Structure 1
Amino acid sequence: MATPGNGQTSDKWGSQEKFLIVMETFTMNETELAESCHKKGLYREQIEAWRTACLQANGQVFDQSKQLNGALKEEQKRAKQLEKELQKKEKALAEAAAVLLLRKKAQAILGDDEEE
């Protein structure tokens, strides 16, 4: 039988102790539950709240995981888009540098002293 203690009240129990109480009382009928609550100084509502929290614990993790996966996919998509933009800009910069170099060479060959 789970009986958390060390003289602490139930609001200071950890999740493990609360889980043990939920497991212990899960199959009890109303009469047994009331008797167990009375012995341990608990309220039925507390155990119901703990039971609900236990049952929903994995659902929250799954939902958070789903949200994180969605956010990760969006960030990966954004990173890919930014990389494409960077490649375009690097290409345009390389073309501009090539045009400037060709202009300088043409000016040197033609002996044109004019600056453009």
Structure 2
Amino acid sequence: MSPPNRESVAEIARSTGITTQTLYNWRSQWQKQGQLVPATTKPPEQWSALDKLAAVIQAAGLSGPDLGAFCRERGLYPKQLARWRQAAEDANGPSAPSMADQRELQRKNQELIRQNRRLQRELEKKEKALSEAATLLMLSKKLDQLWPRDEEQ
């Protein structure tokens, strides 16, 4: 599962005869221990945020030849690790929203969702009314064609 092989769980199960559920359980245990086990054939830039963070954490104490070996084993470049590390630092920097800000954003988001639903219902009602009006207009024109009104009356 680990780079550079990055075989999928299904491929490993076929080649070894181990059930996929067992492999998923093992992968989950390794990830909980902080191991880098993306188990994907995707290139490193498409890894999940959790896998990128795990790679940054594992490489944190490495430098020079050790860092190079770590990167080669996993199919990474040191520049990728540096970029991922910077992204993790920026995510927790002073510009990161506080819990109160996040709650306020969630409240506003919920309000917008409610407003959107209300507007959708209103739009549906108006579309129905418009459809009915168009149908009535069309029927009245057909009625006038079939039985013209006497204009003398």
Scaled by the length of structure 2, the TM-score of the pair is 0.39
Task: Report the Cα distance in structure 2 between the residues aligned to 1:56 and 1:6, rounded to whole angstroms.
Answer: 26
Give the number of the structure whose alpha-carbon radius of gyration is greater.
1
Letter of the 1:61 counterpart: A
Residue 58 of structure 1 pairs with residue 85 of structure 2: no
Identity of aligned residues (%): 25
Alignment of 1:1-116 (within 5 A): 1-59=35-93, 60-62=95-97, 65=101
Q: 1:22 deviation in Å? A: 0.4
Which 4+ residue blocks in structure 1 deviate beyond 2 angstroms? none
Secondary structure of the corresponding residue to residue 16 of structure 1: helix
Q: Deviations over 1:17-57 (max 9, x none)?
A: 00000000001122111111111111100000000111111
Structure 2 regions of 5+ residues with no counterpart? Answer: 1-34, 105-153
Structure 1 regions of 5+ residues with no counterpart? Answer: 69-116
Task: Report the Cα distance in structure 2 between the residues aligned to 1:42 and 1:17, rounded to whole angstroms.
Answer: 12
Scaled by the length of structure 1, the TM-score of the pair is 0.50
Letter of the 1:8 counterpart: K
Q: Tell me the C-alpha RMSD between the 2 structures.
A: 2.6
Letter of the 2:38 counterpart: P
Asked if the contact 1:3/1:40 (under 8 Å) is kept, the reply is no
In structure 1, what is the equivalent of residue 132 of structure 2?
none
Task: Report the Cα distance in structure 1 between the residues aligned to 2:84 and 2:56, rounded to whole angstroms.
Answer: 7
Q: 1:8 deviation in Å? A: 1.6
Q: How many residues align?
A: 68
